[in-house]
Structure 1
Amino acid sequence: MYLSQLFNGLATPLLYAQFRQIVWPTNNSILAFIRTIVTRPDLARYVKQIVLQDVVDGLSGIEIDEDTKGLCLRRFDDIRKILLNESTPNASKLTWKASETSEVEGAYIPVLVCSLPNLETIIFRESYKPECFMSAVECAGALLRKRQLSQGSGLSIPFSQLRSIRTISTESKYGYLDFDELHPFFNLPSARDFEIALANGEWRARDTEEEDGALWRVKPRSSPVERLSFQYSAMTDHCMRRIVGSCANLKELHFTYGRIHMYEPDFTPLQLQNMVLEHAATLEVLHMNYDDDWHKVLWDDEHNDSPEVLRFDNQLARLSRLRKLSVNFAALFGIGVPVIQRFGGALAEREPPRVSLSAMLPQSLEQLEITCCDHRVIPHLQELAASCRDERFSQLRSIKCVFAEEHTDRLKVMHVAIPEVRVEFTFFGLERRQQMLYLPHVPLKERLGLDQSQLFDDEMLLYRGKIQ
């Protein structure tokens, strides 16, 4: 008996640490889990991570018994009593109350998530207008920032431990969610990691506070988020500045470009550099893959007279805490491989600018990765090697160059030896370079043999962009 109790005590926290919604062949697991969490708060406290499908219609097609409906309605009422008081924003109150006019099924997922006091990570598919769900996040953030504790209900304020938020779109062109829906996550005091795949044209920001909506509700340097990751995304300078500028202690920024149609210019490398310089005292990891095989929106029209904005300059060296840098060849040197696949006409031919890699890089750098380069990178590496021999980059341990195979003259690719630095050359064709960008978006037709739950798992494995 003693051993059985001991085993149960050890196994239970592990058993409930993570819940992953499975929809194939049946979606009933989510209903059983909700009932367990609502009736057994002693088990709810063990849940650390939850992976969900649609947070609005997550129970679509499931017949819900009256007992479970009653339990969830009572819990919904308890949660409302916690979140709706004089401390929560008026807009959040209205949005939350408006959800009561819809069918109660739309509140089951918020009831579940708000009943997990120690939830640290939430992963969910993009949903259409998740008003009830996001209102709960917004109200909880307002309460938590004022350090107000709930009284009498036995429930803590939801999302008080939430650190990591990850979401992925299921819509192939524009997506549903924009910053207007997702901004409340940035105001949670515990939030540290925000990752989204398919952040797109709908994230565009306007020019005035009145029009800008949610971007103005997250104040500059106010969010505790330390890691931002945008995968398969297309963003404007204005919107990126607001989002990056909202972070008070930004340590990591990851961005991989997505071939998403926009009507405004994509942000440029120099614009990005100016954004992150505001975080020079904290930024440790910068990963930017601009997809040099694809033509960026309006870059040739907007920047023909100022090509310098299409690359970094020596101000990059001011990132005094930067340890890892992964960036495209063109963003560093202002020249790139020929664009094979484009949405528009050819870019103007320009003389390569005079660039000193050693003058551009921070001396704190430990790992450097240059993607989509060709043999023209070799003289720059040789110049960097000379600086390393002069002990200017004493922390540098790794250099990796990913060459565009079809554009590289291998006879001109000479090995560059740097003492105590591992130098690695890799040659990737177009298909492999695209896999680096679009790993989360492999077409379903290429995944034959996988069941629906495995497809969902694969899509949630968002490409981290971390330098190996």
Structure 2
Amino acid sequence: MATTEESFIYRLPDELLLHVARQLRPRRRLATLGPLRSLSRTSKKLHSIAQEELYAGAWLPVSCGCHPRVNAAVQLLRTLLQRPERAAKVKKLRFSIVRRRVDELYREKQFDLDGIRAQCFKRLTALGYLEGHPWWTSLANDVESAYVGVLLSLLPNLETLHFTVREHHRGWPTLEPMSALFGMSTAPDAVVAALKNVRKLSTQDYGFMRDVSISKLKQLSLTRLDTGTVLRLNGPNSLPGATELQELCVGVSVQLLEAMYMHEMRVCLRDLFEALGCKKLKTLRIMLFNDAYCLGLTPVFSIQYFMKQLEPVLPTLRTLEIVLDFDDESTEWAWFFTQCEDPIESFEKLPVLEHLKLPQEFLFKYGGDRGISPVNIPKSLKSLGIVAPDHDIIEWVMKLLTLDDSSNVGLKTFVLHCRDGLIGPASDFASNVSPVWVELFDSYGIQSFLCDGRDGEKVSLTKLYELDPEDAWEDEEEDEADEDDDDDDDMPSLEDPDSVQDELDREMYIAEVD
């Protein structure tokens, strides 16, 4: 076995070794950190390098709500209280916690909270919070979220924060994350200072942002926004720290698409963008979720009304995605589409849009009779993704081929995003492939792909057409031509109706016997 001095990897500078360690970090959320841990056990030199990367990306596992266990965030807190020099290495943090007393649970798991609690009390004393303060009381009662509040005060170099605070292991996220974490409605000065470098923030709603102004924030994700959430907004520019925001991801209830209901409530999605005051937004990703509400009347979801709510951020958008939460039942989305009206008729409010992804029903309805024509999509658009398409999309795309001047088409990529059980599954487009995808490539250089929602894999529609053994579209044309050529001489002689009925009866009888 080669010695440490003989191994080439040990001759590399620490900067390159750190880059090697970063390549070992899993790219998928559910992948393990096994390779990084193995690297850390190789030698003392590689141990320090691997530990650097392990702590830099503390993407902590989330336990099953039905089988709770000791929270990984509390375990990380224990480590950092014992090894405070490692706190500065943490740059990314993801956790999910509950505002519940966990003393009995942790005792069952043989995890000692007493020592951690004592050290947390010392930390609170150093921050100026003494016995009797709500945060101190929460720790004394072993409220899990209060421990993670202490963790946040220890991380001076945090750049990415992704968290959820729940009222119960199997419950909804809390509406008051501040009181859950710190026992009060405002964030401690130490936490505000610790979060000053955060550039990416993901949380359930904007409650965390009311008192924490994150001036360097570039990416924000709000996972759940409904009518009640919008009602709690305090008007324009009431959510500080978002003026430099460039990317926003938000989960939106389909309620916010019902114009009549929103007018009655005197709120709308526009209120969120005005509260954030983000004038430099380049990317907006919206995931619709269906909360299956009923007001006694059949709702009408207006697409044009919904797009109007996005107007405060549309002028600067380069990427706009509107997708569906596929955790909801397919039947619910099928119902949603039947209630959608007023598809988009113009993109004039999106002058610099380059990437667009949205449901087919948002673009047109009834075979393209209502909505926008593909010849009117902006020249700046480079990629177009269609969510939940059906075969009407083929007829709609064919209209592009009517353009005489290919210079008016800036589109380079076209993607069909399908899901089994919803409108047209991927299998509907993977067989009997239409030649329109080849014509789009030949005429305008547009590459078309089919994406299956189950695994996210994309396949080229032009290649599927070339490999399609059935050549169904040509066969259909030939069949139609053959039908047109038929005359009376080609027709078979008429059979006696009684003999035909006897034959049918015989077949039915055989089927019943079998």
* Coarse TM-score class (shorter-chain normalised): 0.5 to 0.7
CA shift, 1:326, in A, is 0.7
Assess, with a 3 A threshold, how the Cα gap between structure 1 residues 284 and 188 changes in structure 2: closer, same or farther. Answer: same
Which residue of 357, 375, 387 maps to 1:371? Answer: 387
CA shift, 1:275, in A, is 3.1
Cα distance in structure 1, aligned partners of 2:363 and 2:250: 20
State which drifts further: 20-29 or 98-107: 20-29
The reply to whether residue 391 of structure 1 matches residue 407 of structure 2 is yes
The reply to whether residue 120 of structure 1 matches residue 159 of structure 2 is yes
Identity across the alignment (%) = 19
The residue type equivalent to 1:49 in the other structure is K
The residue type equivalent to 1:42 in the other structure is E
The reply to whether residue 260 of structure 1 matches residue 277 of structure 2 is no
Higher relative contact order by CA 8 Å / sep ≥ 6: 1 or 2? Answer: 1
Aligned-partner SS, 2:250? strand
Which residue of 230, 236, 243 maps to 2:272? Answer: 243
Unaligned runs of 5+ in 2: 11-42, 168-173, 258-266, 325-329, 457-514
Q: Is the 8 A contact 1:160 1:190 kept in 2?
A: yes
Residue aligning to 1:188: 214
Cα distance in structure 1, aligned partners of 2:273 and 2:202: 17
1:169-208 matches, cutoff 5 A: 179=206, 181-184=207-210, 187-200=213-226, 202-203=228-229, 205-206=230-231
1:30-45 matches, cutoff 5 A: 30-45=73-88
Residue aligning to 1:323: 354
Which residue of 448, 452, 468 maps to 1:424? Answer: 448
CA shift, 1:118, in A, is 1.3
Residue aligning to 2:488: none
Residue aligning to 1:289: 323
Residue aligning to 1:12: 51
Assess, with a 3 A threshold, how the Cα gap between structure 1 residues 250 and 100 changes in structure 2: closer, same or farther. Answer: same
Aligned-partner SS, 1:38? helix
State which drifts further: 98-107 or 362-371: 98-107
Assess, with a 3 A threshold, how the Cα gap between structure 1 residues 140 and 391 changes in structure 2: closer, same or farther. Answer: farther
Bigger radius of gyration: 2
Which residue of 107, 132, 146 maps to 2:179? Answer: 132
Deviations 1:395-453 (A, max 9, x none): x210123464379798794424234534425386xxx58x88xxxxxxxxxxxxxxxxx
CA shift, 1:18, in A, is 2.6
Cα distance in structure 2, aligned partners of 1:278 and 1:389: 33
Cα distance in structure 1, aligned partners of 2:197 and 2:83: 19
CA shift, 1:98, in A, is 4.4
CA shift, 1:190, in A, is 2.5
The residue type equivalent to 2:279 in the other structure is A
CA shift, 1:236, in A, is 1.7
Residue aligning to 2:121: 73
Cα distance in structure 1, aligned partners of 2:139 and 2:121: 11
Cα distance in structure 2, aligned partners of 1:58 and 1:230: 31
Q: Is the 8 A contact 1:162 1:191 kept in 2?
A: yes
State which drifts further: 280-289 or 131-140: 131-140
Q: Is the 8 A contact 1:220 1:242 kept in 2?
A: no
Deviations 1:9-51 (A, max 9, x none): 4333113113314658952754442133234332101112222
Which residue of 436, 449, 456 maps to 1:415? Answer: 436
Deviations 1:263-282 (A, max 9, x none): 57686422332233332342
Cα distance in structure 1, aligned partners of 2:195 and 2:100: 21
Aligned-partner SS, 2:77? helix
Q: TM-score, normalised by structure 2?
A: 0.59
The residue type equivalent to 2:52 in the other structure is P
Residue aligning to 1:229: 249
State which drifts further: 11-20 or 419-428: 419-428
Aligned-partner SS, 2:118? helix
Which residue of 401, 416, 420 maps to 1:401? Answer: 416
CA shift, 1:119, in A, is 1.5
Deviations 1:375-413 (A, max 9, x none): 32234323334448431133x210123464379798794
CA shift, 1:250, in A, is 1.7
Cα distance in structure 2, aligned partners of 1:400 and 1:293: 20
Assess, with a 3 A threshold, how the Cα gap between structure 1 residues 26 and 219 changes in structure 2: closer, same or farther. Answer: closer
Residue aligning to 2:471: none
CA RMSD of superposed structures (Å): 4.2
Unaligned runs of 5+ in 1: 85-95, 144-149, 168-176, 207-211, 337-350, 437-468
Cα distance in structure 2, aligned partners of 1:363 and 1:29: 49
Aligned-partner SS, 1:54? strand
Q: TM-score, normalised by structure 1?
A: 0.64
Aligned-partner SS, 1:236? helix
